[in-house]
Chain A
Amino acid sequence: MREYSAYTLLKNALTGNRDWKQAWRKAEPRPHYDVIVIGGGGHGLSTAYYLAKEHGITNVAVLEKGYLGSGNVGRNTTAVRSNYLLPENHRFYEHSMDLWENLSHDLNYNVMFSQRGCLNLAHTPGQLDEYIRRGNALRHSGIDSELMTVKQIKRLVPALDVSGSARFPIIGGVMQWSAGTARHDAVAWGYARGADRRGVDIVENCEVTGFLRDGDRVTGVTTTRGEIRAGKIAVAVAGSTGSVMKLAGIETLPIESQVLQAFVSESLKPILNTVLTFGMGHFYASQSDKGGLVYGGALDGYNSYAQRGSLPLVEEVHSEMLALFPSLASVRMLRSWGGLCDMSMDGSPIITTGPLPGMYLNCGWNYGGFKATPASGWCFAWTIARDEPHALNAPFTLDRFHRGILIDDKGMGATPNLH
């Protein structure tokens, strides 16, 4: 009997909803584990889940300094897609997509992954060619992508301004139908519950304050809840990577932490049934099941750990929004927040063994962290369990930057705020 189902929901409704168990235990840390995963966000939790599920490693602790899912997994715009240009990226993200498609069943937790498509709008012939190049790249890797005409686009999203008189007229778009959105918090909670039910200890309010070392080798961590030792220590802390790695004596990394803002409008009846991106800016949007438009734009563009954005960018994002949707001018923005993006030097992530013996590193997610959650955990778990990367994450090394083996989807070079 599955713990969550229409039947158990009904049964519990009849008994006053008194019998539901905690989604995950409030575990006390034990002194020793096989694997410690630092970071109770999406990636840390999915890593723990796949360590247990795929590799049978259940003597695992996930250490989270705040509440579970308090990082980017709970502060993103929920888009899931695999429409990257470069094969290293799109193969990895497509593996994520495969996991996403069965994630609710796998976790027995409805993460509400809805494949409502992701449409990149193009505004010049050159840009359309560029998007088609990317779409064709996907098709040659067996990933879906199709061209949409202005007419088809208008039918799909009637609120769009497709008039030729727009400052940047829409001349077409490239659609990935398998893309979509998921309920972000549910992903964290679902993985947490899944890992917990398989024996993983999830320890909240437990901040790592230092690493225990035996020579070069990392053997454990000191935390606000005491010393914890482990054979393997995995770091999956996104925006805090720099700070945590400094505790291990790693002073520099090919990463900058920058702030990315996101916004939600007031709840509206359905008006946007896909994920949409604007080609002449960074604006992107979707509409949640509750009715709020969920949208964002460019990075604020400077290093920040503040989780707060700046006003000029708020204005820019909304200007871009109205360039596409002139009827939404009278709708109102309800909430805004800032997330920390660990921007890497080529815009692609790092999932690797090392850099110290006993340590494993997962970081550099740029804007791609949420959609990567399943594959990131899956690959990282593989890497931890087998001490070598899976073919899918083998390109995502830490030394690739120095060696010039770059995976630069946007072609922006070592300027993270431009990726």
Chain B
Amino acid sequence: MSPRRAASGGLIDRSRTIRFTFDGQEFTGHPGDTVASALLANGVSLFGRSFKYHRPRGILAAGVDEPNALVTVLRGEAREPNIQATMLEIHDGLKVVSQNRFPSLGLDVGALNQLASKLLGAGFYYKTFMGPVIGPLKGTRFWMFCEHLIRRAAGLGKAGLAPDPSRYERMNAFCDVLVVGSGPAGLMAAKAAAENGARVILAEQSARLGGSANWSEDTIDAMPARDWAAGVVADLTTTSNVTMLPRTSVWGYYDGNTIAALERVTDHKTSPRIGEPRQRHWTIRAGKVVLATGAFERPLVFPGNDRPCVMLASAAERFAVEYGILPGEKVAIFTNNDSAYRSAMTMQEAGCRIVAIVDVRTDISPAARAIAVRTGAEILTSRAVTSTEGGKKLHCIKVQDYDIRSGAVSGDARSIDADCLLVSGGWSPVINLASQAGARAEWSERVQAFLPPKDADGWVGAGAFNGTFSLEAALAEGLAAGGASAIDVPAVVDAALDIAPAPVFEIEAKGKAFVDFQHDVTADDVRLAHREGFQSVEHLKRYTTLGMATDQGKTSNVAGLAIMANALGKQIPEVGTTRFRPPFAPVTIGALAAERFGEIRPERLTPMHDWHVAHGATFYSAGLWHRPMIYGLPGETVEQAYVREVKTTREAAGIADVSTLGKIMVQGPDAAYFLDRVYTNTFSTLPVGKARYGLMLREDGLVLDDGTTWRLGRHDFLMTTTTANAGKVMQHLEFLLDVIWPELKVTLTSVTDQWAGASIAGPRSREVLAACVSGTAVDNETLPFMGIVYGEVDGAPVMICRLSFSGELAYEVYSGAGHGTHLWQALIEAGKPFGMVAYGLEALGTMRIEKGHVTGAEIDGRVTARDLHLDWMLSKKKPFVGSMMMDREGLVGPDRLQLVGIMSLDNLPLNGGAHIVEELDRENPHDSIGHMTAACYSPMLGRHIGLALVKAGKSRHGQRVFTSDPLRKRFGPVEIVSHHFYDPEGKRMHG
């Protein structure tokens, strides 16, 4: 007999039918069904294949603890692998496929692995596949050959290659009380907290709120527990200070009561509403967290315990009551505790025949016995199931005498026909979140499980989480956890069973007994780990992979520990417990990225960006900025474009967007004094209305950044930094002012985004300005080199400083960012009669290389001022940041890498990143003496040139060496020259 749907019962909506497919075959179910319940209803008992042996597997659990039934959801071209069928709600059009099988779930060739299972025990791969020590397969080759095959066989689901079209969302929430779990204890806590006026969030990982109330036969407040729960849920849903989050798995407990949760917003919908994300990543900052996360039932470990139709007793109960499923006709039960008796009663009332209750204990409680009698089941105490029979379905179980004190199995095996075996090995409170929060679990001899500590910081527990399995006590704990309140604990009628189990975890008998179902870790594997010395919890886990599968050992950890403890002759707590880490359940990666999926970083655009786009610019990424690289004409190569831009600029005029330069206002009575401390050179002597080039060192004496700083007033300076270092320099200055010299009266304001800047360079740049600037003259007298004037361009107020990066007569014209495009267009217009071009970073880079100016490529965090020949900027009259550190023995000396110019001697292009060698060896390049930092074709020299940092470079001018670039296969003769290629006296910019 296969599992089937009962004629009535369950919380599903039988009035509607939903169609979905599993492995291409169409199935039906009802709203409220999961894939697991709907397939069970259709008689499916085979759901998946295990990881290593590819054994046929059915449903073990009913919720997030399910290890076997993993499926892949297909959404268009997107694939979502490894989803538990027990957590996946069905909807019309849902497509799921089974995984880790070939060619089909029913017939899987991977199952052949079982034949070699003795060879494939725990850790076998550490002992073989090493291959020969000599010959062509030595080293790693043989292993990599084997590994190739192993990798293809391993792995569970298959990920897609098509981008996931889903949208994910992030939500921040704040609350006084976060309740995790909506079983009776959680509901009670939420209700109590809500009545106290607290802001409450209640998160439940299942679709249906109510937890165990949905599948128990208990009575609360004189009504069925599920009705009581539904009533509380209805009340809370309409309470304004309560947020209810069904389908929300709380997976992370981070510092400062920061809680991470994943809400499955539309996974259960055929057509989501407009604007609804697929999933939502919640960051909840909670004053207090109530952990009412319940407990997982544990399976027992015995031979054949992994056969399809062997199921946790509580799972069967849940399937029967919540989904109206009968997992079998003839149901046997195997237990070490009383809770399975309640399951027996539930299953019998649902319509199953309970053929036998096999209990390892000698004595059972009168309450349990009374239930057993009512079910009509044969009660087999001091007995154990020692094997199961059937292929991909259960046919019968074998039962033998069992001595609970010695653990010995004896006597003849008796065969009992059963098509479903329900197993209960006791209960483990779900303490994962508490453990994440740092709590150390304590072993309870009574419940045979790890319990959370009583005293906690930030959280409080309630119900089965605390090991409190009586409904009445759980409600009372919930009430207390929610906070003092006027509510009373409601009256309760329950089965009144004490679930404390006998300390039996494994029945040792012949055959494979599984501890970790998904990873196929058997009891023998645990014992092998023990024999080989892998005895601490972590070694056990790592050596056997126990608990490392996608279910993270929710059903296997304690049994594994118990078997190890037994092998060691120790108590379980002496072996220890694993510390749980986030996540409690797997989290969709898209949800973690949320809005940043597809938009990883913001884009920074200058005020003139649209103009650049409209005028044919191609762009570079520079940090977050987009900067024009070239303004190419149709048919031009990059090199042709920048050569044209450089030539025109050097011959007439060019204009570049320099808005990205870092700009910091340094203001206050001590501003000049402050700059003297942070720059290597002096700024206090700078007259108002003038600018100066400055160099900054880090505290360790190496170069941090360079730039010009303009004195706008006695106490007002505008500092410019390189684009890349704007943030770093700001932080450096702020630290010094705020932490080291709080007594200095200086304020710093980042104004990078407030100013738009255009650099106009070239012999005719002055004429361009003269043609468009009003309110000031721009002649050499009024605006000398490094001078500053204020005026207007086409009505926009501007500030102009005459300074040069290109080496030409040049000006930087700044306006408010809002005027940027206006200013730019006016300048372009004014430049037209003079043949002015717009130039991009390539041209800028070329001109600076020709001039030997340094940028980030040279200032790479390892160079000193002397390496860059900037000794002249190091004031000897005053201490400055880095002045005491810059002359340490490792930072001085003739052999350091020093800035030089490089000239190609073979008339071929040079490349940044190429190395410099004295002796050329294309096959075995060796003995690099330095590297190229930048390269270009110099239109002015008609040569390929570049800058380089070369060992003792200063002393090598005139030397003929080689560029050696094996990665790009470019080798050739070059000459080391001074880095000042063009107009070394600076006549042009002073002109």
Contacts and interface: CB of A to CB of B under 8 A. Distances in A.
A128 to B, nearest CB: 8
A147 B967 contact: yes
B596 interface: yes
Interface string A124-160: 1110111111011101111001110000000000110
A105 B130 contact: yes
Contacts of A322: 589-590, 593, 596-598, 600
Contacts of B533: 22-26
B160 interface: yes
Contact of B912 (A133, A140, A411): A133
A186 B126 contact: yes
Contacts of B128: 4-6, 9, 110
Contacts of A6: 128
A411 B860 contact: yes
A250 interface: no
A9 B542 contact: no
Interface string B593-605: 1101111110100
Contacts of B532: 20-23
Contacts of B51: 267, 290
B928 interface: yes
A405 interface: yes
DSSP majority for the B interface? loop
Given A129-B913, A270-B152, A402-B888, A337 B589 contact: no
A273 B147 CA distance: 11
Nearest to B551: A334
B966 A318 contact: no
Interface stretch (A10-18, A51-59, A207-215, A218-226): A10-18
Interface stretch (A30-38, A112-120, A231-239, A371-379): A112-120
A112 B592 CA distance: 31
Contact of B154 (A8, A101, A115, A291): A291
Contact of B915 (A8, A113, A137): A137
Interface in B547-582: 548-550, 552, 581-582
B103 to A, nearest CB: 15
A291 B156 CA distance: 7
Contacts, number: 351
Interface stretch (B163-171, B306-314, B406-414): B163-171
B208 interface: no
B163 A326 contact: yes
Nearest to B251: A333
Nearest to A182: B140
Nearest to B861: A411
A167 B912 contact: no
B157 A268 contact: yes
A266 B157 contact: yes
Interface stretch (A42-50, A307-315, A359-367, A381-389): A307-315
B861 A23 contact: no
Interface residues of B, number: 120
Nearest to A24: B533
A252 interface: no
B967 A139 contact: yes
Interface string A256-278: 00000000011111110100000
Residue among A332, A408, A412 with the highest chain B CB neighbour number at 10 A? A332
Contacts of A246: none
Given A114-B147, A308-B255, A290 B155 contact: yes
Given A289-B150, A323-B600, A327-B161, A115 B140 contact: yes
Contact of A132 (B150, B597, B913, B926): B913
B676 to A, nearest CB: 22
Given A21-B532, A110-B129, A291-B156, A403 B143 contact: no
Contacts of B888: 402-404
B915 A136 contact: yes
Interface string B334-373: 0000000000000000000000000000000000000000
A332 B536 contact: no
Given A132-B913, A329-B166, A145 B967 contact: yes
Interface in A392-419: 400, 402-406, 408, 410-414
Contact of B545 (A8, A139, A140, A290): A290
B588 interface: yes
Contacts of B889: 403-405
Given A268-B156, A311-B283, A333 B130 contact: no
Interface stretch (B228-236, B695-703, B983-991): B695-703
B143 A110 contact: yes
A319 B581 contact: no
Interface string B428-448: 000000001010000000000
Given A20-B531, A108-B130, A136-B965, A265 B143 contact: no
B160 A327 contact: yes
Contact of A140 (B550, B911, B964): B964
Interface stretch (B76-84, B106-114, B660-668): B76-84
A133 B915 contact: yes
A186 B129 CA distance: 14
A266 B84 CA distance: 12
A266 B861 contact: no
Nearest to A171: B621
B151 interface: yes
A266 B913 contact: no
Interface string B856-890: 11001110000000000000000000000100111
Given A20-B531, A133-B931, A311-B258, A333 B147 contact: no
A113 B257 CA distance: 41
A335 B130 CA distance: 29
A110 B126 contact: yes
B82 to A, nearest CB: 4
B174 interface: no
B118 A267 contact: no
Contacts of B156: 266-269, 291
A115 B147 CA distance: 11
Contact of B861 (A17, A287, A400, A408): A408
The 4 closest A-B pairs by CB, nearest first: A411-B861, A329-B590, A404-B888, A291-B155
Interface of A: 4-6, 8-10, 13-14, 16-18, 20-26, 66-70, 74, 101-102, 104-105, 108-116, 123-126, 128-133, 135-137, 139-142, 145-147, 158-159, 161, 167-168, 174, 180, 183, 185-186, 189-190, 204, 265-271, 273, 280-281, 287, 289-291, 308, 310-311, 314-315, 318-323, 326-338, 400, 402-406, 408, 410-414
Given A13-B119, A314-B592, 9 more contacts: A14-B118, A25-B533, A102-B139, A269-B158, A270-B152, A289-B147, A330-B159, A404-B891, A413-B702
29 contacts: A8-B127, A9-B127, A67-B539, A74-B538, A104-B140, A110-B126, A112-B147, A115-B144, A124-B622, A126-B857, A132-B968, A133-B915, A136-B931, A136-B964, A140-B917, A140-B927, A145-B967, A189-B534, A267-B156, A267-B157, A268-B156, A311-B252, A321-B589, A322-B597, A322-B600, A329-B166, A330-B160, A332-B587, A404-B889
